[in-house]
């Protein structure tokens, strides 16, 4: 009887710990849904196909600094999309496409690594773009994949 009781207490404690560890986090489903709404407003480069999409939690800030912990509570989620281009495209062509497409956003291509990255902001959202050359196929000046990293409420993360 004591073994059963201890087992029930252990299960209850584990459930409580799981619930408490997530306390104070933003709602992942709602947050990611908003990120996806931002992504839907940004047409990918011509012919690009979505090949991967995932979101990661960003730990809440504590005392004005980001936590160095990798767990809950989360203050935000960033959604990453990877697109594959149908054929290699020059880096400059892809970056110019996004700079033009996102001209209503502040920021733009930053030069970054070989001029293939860009950070754009609008209405509190941030889009980080990576369109760097693919050296694995001898295409040192061309891009075969594009990556978006989006946080619809990035401005709130900074508070």
pLDDT tens string, the chain, 159 residues long: the values are 444 444 444 444 333 333 434 458 899 999 999 999 999 999 999 999 999 999 999 988 765 555 556 677 889 999 999 999 999 999 889 989 999 999 999 988 765 556 788 899 999 999 999 998 876 555 568 899 999 999 999 866 554
Q: Do residues 92 and 57 lie in contact, with contact meaning Cβ atoms separated by under 8 Å?
A: no
Among 119, 135, 115, 136, smallest CA distance to 127 is for 119
Tell me which DSSP letter residue 70 carries. -
**Could you give the CA distance from residue 96 to residue 80 in angstroms, rounded to a whole number?**
21
pLDDT of residue 136: 53
pLDDT for the residue 3:
44
The closest alpha carbon to 144, from 89, 82, 81, belongs to 89
3-class DSSP assignment, residue 147: strand
Residue 113 pLDDT: 54
Instruction: Record the pTM.
Output: 0.75
Q: ∠79-23-11 over CA atoms, to 5°?
A: 115
Which pLDDT does position 86 carry in this prediction? 95
What integer pLDDT is reported at residue 72 of this predicted model? 79
Distance (Å, rounded) from C-alpha 7 to C-alpha 108? Answer: 57
């Amino acid at each position: 009887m004591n073994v059963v009781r201890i087992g029930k207490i252990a299960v209850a404690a584990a459930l409580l710990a799981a619930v408490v560890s997530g306390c104070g986090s933003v709602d992942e489903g709602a947050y990611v849904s908003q990120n996806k709404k931002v992504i839907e407003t940004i047409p990918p480069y011509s012919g690009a196909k979505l090949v991967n999409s995932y979101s990661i939690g960003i730990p809440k800030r504590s005392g004005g600094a980001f936590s160095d912990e990798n767990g809950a509570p989360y203050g935000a989620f960033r959604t990453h999309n990877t697109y594959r281009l149908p054929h290699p495209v020059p880096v400059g062509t892809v970056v110019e496409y996004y700079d033009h497409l996102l001209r209503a956003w502040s920021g733009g291509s930053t030069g970054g690594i070989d001029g293939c990255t860009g950070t754009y902001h609008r209405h509190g959202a941030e889009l980080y773009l990576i369109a760097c050359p693919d050296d694995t196929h001898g295409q040192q000046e061309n891009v075969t994949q594009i990556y978006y990293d989006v946080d619809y409420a990035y401005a709130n993360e900074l508070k």
